[in-house]
Structure formats: structure tokens, C-alpha cells
A = this chain, B = another copy of it.
Amino acid sequence: MDDLLDPALFKALSDPTRAQLWACLVKCARPCSVSEVAECCEVDFSVVSRHLATLEGAGLLESRKDGRTVFYSVQHGTVCRLFRALARAVSDCCPASSSGKNTCCER
């Protein structure tokens, strides 16, 4: 449980701008350059650059450099596994689950 609650990861998504940028990349479903991502946001370009680096540091994104362009893409597998593991961990600690019956959280 404690391992799953990485403060850095939650911190990365705690800022509205950063969450917006990440959601943008999730919905894009393909690698995007910093310039591309910056278009879905009103903040300065440098801010976007920093935010994407933060999201990568938290394990939510990965980057690949091609020439002068940096492509960021979502770590789908990692993120899915994390959220699923969190749901399961919470579910397993649910009072109803110790009764031997189903948990309170529908699978």
C-alpha cells in the first residue's frame, strides 16, 4: 500500500495545468512534441517544458529525442498497472472483504 502511494506521482497530477497537459497526451494516444502539447495550454512554453519533465520524472511520461524535437508519450502500461494496483489494495483493505464475501468495490 505505502509503496503505491508515491507522493511524487500524486504531486505531479496535483497541479491543474500539469494534469491538463497529461490528459492531453493521454487522449492524443501518440507521442507528441513539446510544441504540440503546448498548444492545448495557455501557459508559457518554458512552463510546458518544465511540466512535461516533471511528469516524466514521476513515471507518467517517457520521452524520446529525435533531432531537435522531443517526443513525450504516456507510460500506458505503468500507469494502468499502478491505478489498478491501488484499486486492489484499497479493495483488499475494505471491511467487507474480510467477511470472505465480495468486497464493497465492484470488480
Q: Is the CB of A104 within 8 A of B87?
A: no
Q: Is the CB of B83 within 8 A of A29?
A: no
Q: Is there a chain B Cβ closer than 8 Å to A66's Cβ? A: no
Q: Is there a chain B Cβ closer than 8 Å to A65's Cβ? A: no
> Please, how many angstroms separate the alpha-carbon atoms of A90 and B13 in the complex?
14
Q: Which bracket fits the contact residues of A?
A: 35 or more
Q: How many copies does the complex hold?
A: 2
Q: Is the CB of B98 within 8 A of A76?
A: no
Q: Which of A49-107 contact B (CB under 8 A)?
A: 74, 76-77, 79-81, 83-84, 86-87, 89-91, 93-96, 98, 103-106
> Please, how many angstroms separate the alpha-carbon atoms of A58 and B62 in the complex?
29
